[in-house]
Structure 1
């Protein structure tokens, strides 16, 4: 059985090291790369050298399509939009990290520092919504990378997408862990009145110090709960996602998060347990070794108990919730806490698709006809 602890010899130049403001501790090659890289000591390296802080680099790209379709029975939405590739939040547990390998980039530091902004997203969305055969169903923002990650302040791509939805009467759902969503209340409130939007804020723990290493550039936990309260007070239905639940790291906060979410007006909540696909397995092991070494083996043991003895189980039906005694314990705790605080008592989340009007194609004669 593979050890939960990666090699952490401080004399190795490529040894994992905690980088302030970043979730990953290394930058391993992606699984599709054909050239490997190693670092050699040239005699100039000093142990007291401070690890450099890699800057965020954003590449603007012109995407060819914008709506992704989903047929997974584990996910309630059929359509989604990801305005960005990569995510500056730097959540070390993010299941989207391995997607950077398709760009010949690392799932580690690259995923949170080398970002891609789809600057033509709203333009493409208008085209796709205007196609003759398009069938309206809610579109999710935040399925892979966060629509309100820090670079959204500058690029405002998510806002431009919401503007198209508002104009066309198209329903959507939003999942984020950033209080920046409050910026768009001027769009979200009218959409909510027309039953066109539901929002969810992801809250993993209530410990700011833990969050600063797990999800270093996301809003602090208390600030996310404030956002839940502010959205609900404004009339925008906002629930919480307790996701992912990490055994012996964040599972202790489940009941407290749901209690505070209910106090913030949340009527809906969901959860997932930690998934470790592809390169994410080793990245998470590095995080454990650096941050909770005394619990690392136990955490990985519980994860494998929920995954049939493996680090990851990608099967539909079990990948989100896990299996076995510990997974069942989490399910029961979550269900009882929701019942205690009046969450998930109303199961109808249907948004109104009848208001959708396809956007008009650009006309040389403007609005004359």
Structure 2
């Protein structure tokens, strides 16, 4: 370990994994990525628990890649990139992403995930992503579930969860309340578990994506463009066409084939330093919001029956971006009483238009009534 740096990442619940590397930028990346949501700190020997060991090592990349491509393998779309993978007799998984020049080997007997690649940013990104997946697996073993929701908290920890289908307004609701003084706990996913009669909420650390329209409506577009022009980088998953539009001052939304919007991508710490939203590390669910964005509509409350359903939870079967290639996630069923406990919380449905001021006023008023 003398030639390696190490960052230990731990949730407020105590689940932890350590990222090690001969390249300090790799472990620094994990510290930056997780530090706003979970606890991330330098680690000293002896290192215990699961480890992600990640290095710039073209030779090892070629060796691991050959171990996959030289035999029959399976395919998966992992984080938007083709992954080929094989499984050994003792559960060891070897994988390669040729397009990213990344290779992996997971050894479950010693809980060690090895990553080798050619590019510093690609290796650092992969190390953080798989460290999160290891922690995710440990949290699921302890009874946590992943809710498809945004979340904001008050200073006392009371948390509002916002739920709905894609495009319903979960991110908009969280951003508007966070800009109004709440703390941002989750943008798209959150860990939830019943503890001592309450539903505890932990964040899912990730890059944050916000559309041009929302950023412009909040008066943040030029601030972001100015930082980018000054040479401050945004998250590397951001499409170059988005970067070019920001630099040129073009506010019109950009779309991929198939109709998916391409959005600016932010590191977790940039939520605070660039966008003025303070992250939170945990909370306790106290109310639910079910928004629906309707262009041209007046912001208002609506009387609509709405309850959580199976579609509001992520499972290994419904995960579309990070399939469990390495077998890190346990087979878990429903958490007894969780949905019922959440459905029993005060909740309201509402319609949001495109008037940011009116939307914010309605959200603040509704939040105050729900939480008292």
Report the TM-score range of the alignment, normalised by the length of the smaller protein: under 0.3
TM-score with structure 2 length normalisation? 0.26
| Structure with more strand by fraction | 2
TM-score with structure 1 length normalisation? 0.26
